Amino acid sequence: MNRRRVLLWGLPLLLATGLALAGWRLAPRLVQITPASGNQNLAPNSLLRLEFSQPMDTASVEERFSIEPAQPGNLRWEDPQTLVFEPSEPWPRGATITARLSAGARSALRLPLAGETSWQFGIRRVQLAYLWPADGPAQVYAVDVEGGAVIRLTSGPAVIDFSPAADGETIYYAARNASGGSDLYVFERASDETRMLLACETNRCADVQVSPDGGWLAYTRLPFQPEEISTPLEVWLLDLASGDTLRVSAQGNEARSPGWSPENALVYYDTQAAAWVLTATDGTELGRVANGAGEQGSWTPDGEWFITPELFVQLTDTLQGPIGELANQPPDPDSQDRVQVYASHLLAYEFRTNGITDLTLAATLEDAQPAVSPDGVWLAFARRYLDEERFTTGRQVWLVRLDGREPRQLTHSPQDKHANLIWHPEGTWLAVVRFNATVLTLPPEILLIQPSTGEIIQLVSNGYSPQWLP
């Protein structure tokens, strides 16, 4: 009798417990938020994603979702349990964003979501990535040029060079290995993960350049063959989707300096042919232009012109008498010759028509390191005068419109050589590497130059190879 009473009293309790447990399991919960609260390094085009434990009443969720400060964008459901907010314009750089889901949202079964949820995240500013230190095994670092915060992006084997993807989210790089060669890696900023893309073993793979569409990685490969005294440097492509590789430079020819046009065509320098070669990603040649210098160039944003230095022999007004054993004898005016110098002019090449335009408007100049501004209006470059009156050991940074108007000198330190000119994505700054051309033991420095005012900021000491991260 007592046992029967216990069962009668216990059944409702068990039933209530079971219903409560079922209700708990069916009640909707917000199980994951992306980005996570506290993330302060979000890309300006990032999506927000809310994942629920149950299919939701979509209208009740959308009504209670808000963002502060307000951001234009679109809400869409990937499935009944996943809501995505896609901004229609980039998040403001440097801003702190608060997202909120107010109480009252319901599941498809009309069960309420408990309480209110809010979270914050920060949108990163444009950063400048670089290699540091110059006098030891280097890694990739990034600095917020407005706030000054520095973060280390890579770790492990020493990095040789690197190339950020167009959105700055992915960084490809070459790093040394234990076999004497170098391998190719990728670093994903969102997940903070690194993985090897290509093991090159004893071969030296370097000079990485990712294509504008993010589908291909160009690199140089120096094969190691013990039975041969020397082997040529080659240009290869890595298909980032399939992992397949393709040699694009001519068999047996020395090739170097791979780069990309804005239209996703590969350009590289063939030393034997003394020419820049333009190819499609399947290796099909699209054109070539003769050039004896083979120094790195810069494309105009429309992909029409490739600007790169070319060498010219120029006669100066300086006379030179006999040399060698006859140098100490009184010079005979009739035997004196005008001194020859190797000048460097910036030429704009048009691959489709083989058109050439000389952008250097004087003979005895050494112009190099061209960099076209993102809007295609300005050309930054490094210049050194070769005439006796204005000769300097270093190259100075200059700015000129592409049509030749408004030339301006931005730096005035004759002993310094300026190189690696890189425009800020919005054209507001120039990043430049400065070397002392007379005291070679001094470390390189990375400078920021404000093109409109000429303001110069020393940003990094002992760093090199700057690249902007949008």
Domain ranges of the chain: 25-122, 156-290
Q: What is the mean pLDDT of the chain?
A: 90
Burial class for 204, CB neighbours closer than 10 Å (0-12, 13-18, 19+): buried
Q: Are 221 and 199 in contact (CB under 8 A)?
A: no
Give how far the C-alpha of residue 389 lies from the chain's centroid of Cα atoms, to the nearest Å: 40
How far apart CA 73 and CA 61 sit, in angstroms, is 16
pLDDT, position 153 = 97
Residue with tokens 């490739």, as numbered in its chain:
306
Q: Are 288 and 276 in contact (CB under 8 A)?
A: yes
Which range, 306-315, 362-371, 457-466, is most confident?
A: 457-466
Return the higher-pLDDT residue of 364 and 254. 254
Residues contacting 40, CB < 8 A, separation 6+: 121, 122, 124
List C-alpha distances in Å: 467 to 224, 362, 423. 30, 31, 9
Phi-psi region of 58 (alpha: psi -120 to 50; beta: other; left: phi over 0): alpha
pLDDT, position 361 = 77
Residue with tokens 């770790």, as numbered in its chain:
155
pLDDT, position 262 = 98
Give me the long-range contacts of 450-458 (CB less than 8 A, separation at least 24): 451/373, 451/378, 451/380, 451/399, 451/410, 451/427, 454/408, 454/410, 456/410, 456/411
Residue 31 has pLDDT above 60, yes or no: yes
Which two structure tokens, joined as six digits, stand for 375? 């809007």
Q: Which of 14-23, 95-104, 117-126, 225-234 has the lowest mean pLDDT?
A: 14-23
Q: Are 345 and 362 in contact (CB under 8 A)?
A: no
- Class at the top of the CATH hierarchy for domain 25-122: mainly beta
pLDDT, position 147 = 86
% of the chain surpassing 90 pLDDT: 78
- Please state, as a whole number, how many other Cβ atoms lie within 10 Å of the Cβ of residue 221: 25
How far apart CA 409 and CA 420 sit, in angstroms, is 17
> Using alpha carbons only, how large is the chain's radius of gyration in Å?
30
How far apart CA 247 and CA 268 sit, in angstroms, is 12
Q: Are 207 and 233 in contact (CB under 8 A)?
A: no
Which 3 state secondary structure label does DSSP give 34? Answer: strand
Q: Are 319 and 337 in contact (CB under 8 A)?
A: yes
Which two structure tokens, joined as six digits, stand for 464? 């090199």
Which pLDDT band holds residue 22 (cuts at 50, 70, 90)? very low
- Sign for the CA dihedral angle at 433, 436, 440, 443 comes to negative
pTM of the model: 0.83
Which pLDDT band holds residue 387 (cuts at 50, 70, 90)? confident
Which pLDDT band holds residue 231 (cuts at 50, 70, 90)? confident
User: Tell me, what amino acid is at 418?
Assistant: H
How far apart CA 21 and CA 443 sit, in angstroms, is 68
CATH code for residues 156-290: 2.120.10.30
Half-sphere exposure (Cβ direction) of 389: Cα atoms closer than 13 Å:
3
Render 316-329 in DSSP notation, one character per residue. EEEEE---GGGGGS
- Can you name the residues that pair with 209 across neighbouring β-strands? 218
Decide the pairing of beta strands 193-198 and 204-210: unpaired
User: Tell me, what amino acid is at 333?
Assistant: P
Residue 316 has pLDDT above 60, yes or no: no
Give how far the C-alpha of residue 96 lies from the chain's centroid of Cα atoms, to the nearest Å: 25
List C-alpha distances in Å: 166 to 14, 169, 262, 435. 60, 8, 11, 28
Give how far the C-alpha of residue 324 lies from the chain's centroid of Cα atoms, to the nearest Å: 51
How far apart CA 137 and CA 413 sit, in angstroms, is 29
How far apart CA 169 and CA 165 sit, in angstroms, is 7
How far apart CA 417 and CA 415 sit, in angstroms, is 7
Q: Are 354 and 289 in contact (CB under 8 A)?
A: yes
